[in-house]
Amino acid sequence: MTDAEGRVTRATLLQLPGRPGWGVWYAHTTPSDRDVSVAFHARDGRLLVELPAMDF
């Protein structure tokens, strides 16, 4: 996730053994009153998908 100031928070991907193709990710951030955007990148750095900033 990237905040309005450009700070990046990395997420952790969890995959269950024996469940190919299934996974979930999570990230810990500090509270913010700013919009947050989310982008998923492959290990080689390619952008896979990006969600626009959302006001929470």
Token look-up 């100031």 returns: 5
% of residues, the chain, pLDDT over 70: 84
Cα gap 49→31, rounded to integer Å: 24
What is the structure's pLDDT at 10?
82
What is the structure's pLDDT at 17?
85
Q: Which residues pair with 51 in a beta bridge?
A: 38
Name the strand (E) or helix (H) holding 56. none
| pTM over the 0.95 mark | no
Distances (CA, A) of 40 to 1, 3, 33, 47: 9, 15, 22, 6
**13 vs 32, more confident:** 13
pLDDT surpasses 70 at 45: yes
Q: Which long-range contacts (CB under 8 A, 24 or more apart) does 46-54 make?
A: 53/4
pLDDT surpasses 80 at 48: yes
Q: What is the mean pLDDT of the chain?
A: 77
